[in-house]
Structure formats: C-alpha cells, structure tokens
Structure 1
C-alpha cells in the first residue's frame, strides 16, 4: 500500500510504496478522476504527519499538474498531458530505479508541474 508523508516546515511530500504499488498508481492516474486510500504511518519522522488519501482529477482546460496537500488529502489535478507525464515518471521510476533511489517531482525541475505545487519525492517503502 502507498503512503504519503508531509513536512509542515518545508511543505515537502514523500510518496512511497512498493514497485507494484507505484506502477498501479501510475496506471490509475490515466483515468479522468479517482481516489486512492493510503496507509497510515504512525511514526512519520522526519516528516510531521501521514496523509490518508490521494485524490486526482483531469482538468479539461489542460495545464500543468498541481500537487497540493490539503488536510489529510494529496490533491493532484491538471491537463491530460501533464497527468500522463507524471504517471510515466512514477511508472518509469518504479520499473527502473534501485530501491535506494528516489525521484524529485517539483517545479521548476519538471516543466509539467504547476508553480505553487508542493515538492514531491517518490521513493520505495523502507
């Protein structure tokens, strides 16, 4: 199962899961909208808290993908092209990376991510 941790001080998010979980999330993001429940981490250090759900939706008007933590939900929205790029990055990471590696998905590093998005690190569960 996936988990998402959030740092109050930096606004940084860590999305982690097994290879299979991350591949499934990438495929899930190809739908127009959906949700995914997350595992709760009761000891999220060095982060402050664990989120409960990912909610995503395609914006028919297009545009870059916005990634924002709101309360206990990680909200992802954007145009189809941006969501497909995000999904591909997550799936490629899951397929090709070593277990000790991580992936940064943030603005301006990724031009398909909207400015104002929370910085996201994708990693394998430890």
Structure 2
C-alpha cells in the first residue's frame, strides 16, 4: 500500500501520529493507479508495543497502532523523509527481522513524496 503526499501533507501526518488522534481525513478522489482504491482516512490508536500498520476490513481506513515510543519512531522516520526526500522518491516502511519499531504483522507501507 502507498501513502503519498507533499512535504506539508506528510509533516501533518507526523503531527497526527504524535498526537495520536483517532482520525485524519484523506482525499480519495485521486487516481490510485497502480492500486485499486484510495483510502478515505487514517486512524491512529495508542496501544503498547510495536507499530502495526493495517487496512480496515472495508478497505477504507489506514490503521496505525502502537506504543508511544514506537509510533514516535515511525513519526521521526516520516519527518526525516519528508524534510530530506526528493520529489518522486519514496520510503519503504516494512518489517524485517529485529525491526526497531514495526510489528511482524504490519503490512508493508510505501510513503511517497509528491509535488
């Protein structure tokens, strides 16, 4: 799954992650190619332990849950990418053995920087 946005939009996402808000509306009107659908919102939920990235059963909501420290590590990773990445570049957020903050059950996420 891919989450794309401008630098400003990705920095807003960082703030949503840090605040742990229940929902952040997305604009699903864009062309999701090569994917079949655009998501309508992001839901951040504070739990404990590693970050779990998933999609709701109705395929409408990107769900991100995890402990405060682990979600902060995800936020810092996205912030660094948004601040230093080049347009059309992307960041892979996916579990590898001994990952610092992701759950092994987390779905792979590509964060893309657009103009």
Give the alignment's TM-score, normalised by structure 2: 0.89
Match of 1:40 in 2: 28
Which of the two has greater strand per residue?
A: 1
Taking the aligned partners of 2:38 and 2:5, their CA distance within structure 1 comes to: 13
Check conservation: 2:42, 2:63, Cα contact below 8 A. yes
Mean alpha-carbon deviation: is it higher for 34-43 or for 85-94?
34-43
Taking the aligned partners of 1:43 and 1:28, their CA distance within structure 2 comes to: 24
Check conservation: 2:16, 2:44, Cα contact below 8 A. no
Taking the aligned partners of 2:38 and 2:74, their CA distance within structure 1 comes to: 22
Deviation at 1:43, TM superposition (A): 2.8
Mapping 1:17-96, distance limit 5 Å: 17-59=5-47, 62-70=48-56, 71-96=59-84
**Aligned residue pairs, count:** 112
Per-residue CA deviations over 1:7-47 (Å, capped at 9, x if unaligned) read xxxxxx10111100101110121113321000114531111
Q: Point out where structure 2 has 5 or more consecutive residues left out of the alignment.
A: none
Taking the aligned partners of 1:115 and 1:18, their CA distance within structure 2 comes to: 28
Match of 1:4 in 2: none
Mapping 1:100-111, distance limit 5 Å: 100-108=88-96, 110-111=99-100
Match of 1:112 in 2: 101
Runs of 4+ residues deviating >3 angstroms? none
Which residue, out of 97, 112, 115, partners 1:123?
A: 112
